[in-house]
Amino acid sequence: MTDEQEKSQAEPVRVGVLGARGRMGVEVCKAVDAAPDMDLVAMIDQGDWLFNASDAGAEVVVDFTTPDVVMDNLHWCIDQGISAVVGTTGFTEQRLERVRGWLARKPGVGVLIAPNFGIGAVLMMQFAARAARHFESVEIIEQHHPRKLDAPSGTATHTARLIATARAEAGLGPVPDATKDEVPGARGAEIDGVRVHAVRATGLVAHQEVLFGTTGETLTIRHDSYDRASFMPGVLLAVRAVRHRPGLTVGLDALLD
Ligand SMILES: NC(=O)C1=CN([C@@H]2O[C@H](COP(=O)(O)OP(=O)(O)OC[C@H]3O[C@@H](n4cnc5c(N)ncnc54)[C@H](O)[C@@H]3O)[C@@H](O)[C@H]2O)C=CC1
Ligand SMILES: O=C(O)C1=N[C@H](C(=O)O)C[C@H](O)C1
């Protein structure tokens, strides 16, 4: 263990939260505040000065903001030498590549970006990726609260990509579908050849079903977050780990093994 790692195990991690007044930000501030090995040193929302985080000595910043501001936030954190845990959606492969480029100039900094911090959701995605090669049909149905700004969800997009990769590796062709879309959108969006349907309804938090089909049988893999507290064990796990993982980590999977 390096001197730096020994020191960081003894002293609380100094954490700043971006998007602190949002639905997730409020929950993250509560969880960090309650964690004995963390100090909540900065709570920043729209209109606040980002330098409040560096002035307060934040070692890790947690970002739950919006896809249109997260790249600027992340660039700033990396420039300041602050590691980051990011739950905000909108990360395309091009965006991830830009983050890798910024990190290449700051070798000690770690960034962990996860489409979903729910442990059950991570397992749901892993199970879906595992099942994918055994079924000729697959569709994803994600369901969220109606104040969510983006569709489809980051989780659904990530799941579709995992499934598409597994199908390609198994040599499966396109999902069979003779239906003509009489009304545009009736068959949902298509991500890497996988149909994704986004449902929005009051009362929901974050839910996803992956429906697989083959001759004579279907398999449904479903995950439900009923409360944003469900994301907090994953967020805290990432905060504890991120400074010891220089470079970019995508997803929580590596931390659960
Ligand atoms: N990875 C995961 O496990 C999860 C990811 N999310 C994602 O996290 C993001 C936030 O979700 P919610 O909290 O529901 O949204 P929200 O709309 O309640 O919160 C976003 C907050 O960010 C603030 N904000 C906007 N621009 C900012 C800036 N430049 N600097 C600092 N703060 C700024 C807003 O004022 C707002 O308070 C979304 O992209 C959502 O999809 C949500 C839940 C779980
Ligand atoms: O906005 C949300 O609420 C959520 N966003 C993430 C996503 O888009 O996948 C994670 C979770 O589904 C909740």
Please tell me what DSSP assigns to residue 241.
H
Count of other CB atoms within 10 angstroms of residue 118? 23
* Residue found under tokens 């004995």: 36
148 a catalytic residue: yes
Given this model, what pLDDT does residue 4 score?
A: 54
Q: Are strands 206-214 and 217-225 parallel, antiparallel or unpaired?
A: antiparallel
Calpha distance 58→70 (Å, rounded): 17
Q: What is the pLDDT of residue 7?
A: 54
| pLDDT score for 2 | 58
Closest residue CA from atom 12 of ligand 2: 206
- Residues ≥6 apart with Cβ < 8 Å to 17: 25, 28, 29, 32, 40, 42, 43, 44, 61, 62, 64
Q: Which of 106, 144, 158, 197 is catalytic?
A: 144
d(CA 252, CA 233): 11
pTM: 0.95
Q: Which of 149, 153, 200, 222 to mutate to test the pocket of ligand 2 (most atoms within 8 A of CB)?
A: 153
User: Is residue 223 annotated as part of the catalytic site, yes or no?
Assistant: no
Rounded to whole angstroms, the Cα distance separating 252 from 51 reads 28
Residues 6+ apart with CB under 8 A from 179: 187
Instruction: Look up tokens 């998007």; give the residue.
Output: 19
| Atom nearest to 144 CA in ligand 2 | 3
User: What's the sign of the alpha-carbon dihedral 3, 7, 9, 13?
Assistant: negative
Q: What is the DSSP string of 137-159?
A: EEEEEEEE-TT---SS-HHHHHH
Q: Which of 66, 22, 77 is nearest to 45 (CA)?
A: 22
ipTM of model: 0.99
pLDDT at 36: 97
Q: What is the reported pLDDT for 257?
A: 86
pLDDT tens sequence for the chain (257 residues)? 555 555 555 799 999 999 999 999 999 999 999 999 999 999 999 999 999 999 999 999 999 999 999 999 999 999 999 999 999 999 999 999 999 999 999 999 999 999 999 999 999 999 999 999 999 999 999 999 999 999 999 999 999 999 999 999 999 999 999 999 899 999 999 999 999 999 999 999 999 999 999 999 999 999 999 999 999 999 999 999 999 999 999 999 999 98
Q: For residue 5, how far is its CA from the centre of ligand 2 (angstroms)?
A: 32
Burial class (CB in 10 A: 0-12, 13-18, 19+), 13: buried
What is the spatial distance between Cα 26 and Cα 28, in angstroms, rounded to a whole number? 6
